[in-house]
Amino acid sequence: MQRFWKKYFLSEGWVKLWCLIAIALYCGSCVQKDKSYPLVEVPVADAGFYQTSLAEVDALVKSDPGNPDAHFKKAIYLQALGNTEEALTAVKQAIKLDAAPDYLMKEAELLTLTGDYSTALARVSRAQILGANYPDLWHLMARLNYLEGNYNNALTEVTLAINKYPKGLAYYSTKGKIEWALHDTTAALNSFYKSAGHPETEYESLRFLAMIHQSMGDYQVAFELLERNLGKYHNDY
């Protein structure tokens, strides 16, 4: 009887089934909350993960250089490893093979990191003309117009992003900066208090909130907001 069960549960079909169950359970535990519709989901991992993934996708690029998606994924992993210029080269090759909106968005994101805001804005505008209508696209366009000083355009675009994805709390940080630049203090405060609830924008939002309250003479509130940031960033002189 013991031999029967061993043979039955270790058969090829059951091994595959157990593997699928394990993968499903693992993936189910990795669901992220409040995702702002990322175009490409990359698992949270250390440098070793990205280096291994980069080696694999690099091999794919060499074996199939005409595959634009391979170059695109190479750009993603290079960016994750901090190699912005190399990532730009990779995504430009993807665009050369296929000017897909996602590829143009990635190039715009990388160009933003280099400080080339005007070219980045041209790329994301081209992606929009080609039919892209993601919340992240409008948010990136808003960020770029804000950095270029086009505040009214930026406000329209970030509002579109929020309307498309109201749960995108991180978008409110950009909205707050635009409203503050437009001297709308009340709206800026409301936006920053919302974005302070998102882990990716909490620090910056609290910093702006402290600055705004200080400008209003609310020094005790500003002090409390600074203390909240110092609670997590002890070494932030």
State residue 237's pLDDT score. Answer: 83
For residue 31, give the DSSP letter.
Answer: P
In sequence order, the 6+-apart residues with CB closer than 8 A to the CB of 88 are 75, 107, 110, 111, 114
C-alpha span between 212 and 47 (Å, rounded): 38
Give percent of the chain with pLDDT exceeding 90: 73
Q: What are phi and psi of 81, to 5 degrees?
A: -90, 0
- Mean residue pLDDT of the chain comes to 85
Q: Would the pLDDT of 167 be above 60?
A: yes
pTM of the model: 0.76
State residue 48's pLDDT score. Answer: 84
- Average pLDDT of 103-108? 97
C-alpha span between 50 and 43 (Å, rounded): 10
Q: Would the pLDDT of 24 be above 80?
A: no
State residue 44's pLDDT score. Answer: 53
Q: 3-state class of 123 per DSSP? A: helix
CA 127 to the chain's CA centroid: 17
Within 10 Å of residue 159's Cβ, how many Cβ atoms?
A: 15
The 10s digit of each residue's pLDDT in 153-165 is 999 999 999 999 9
Of the pLDDT bands very low, low, confident and very high (cuts 50, 70, 90), residue 116 is very high
State residue 236's pLDDT score. Answer: 84
Q: Would the pLDDT of 6 be above 80?
A: no
Of the pLDDT bands very low, low, confident and very high (cuts 50, 70, 90), residue 45 is low
The 10s digit of each residue's pLDDT in 129-143 is 999 999 999 999 999
C-alpha span between 49 and 52 (Å, rounded): 5
What type of residue is 83?
Answer: N
C-alpha span between 206 and 78 (Å, rounded): 31
Least confident of 48-57, 112-121, 146-155, 185-194: 48-57
Q: Which long-range contacts link 172-177 to residues 24+ away (Cβ below 8 Å)?
A: 172/198, 172/201, 172/205, 173/198, 173/201, 173/204, 173/205, 173/208, 174/139, 174/142, 174/143, 174/146, 175/142, 176/205, 176/208, 177/146, 177/208
**190: buried, middle or exposed (CB in 10 Å: 19+, 13-18, 0-12)?**
middle
State residue 53's pLDDT score. Answer: 86
Least confident of 160-164, 206-210, 231-235: 231-235
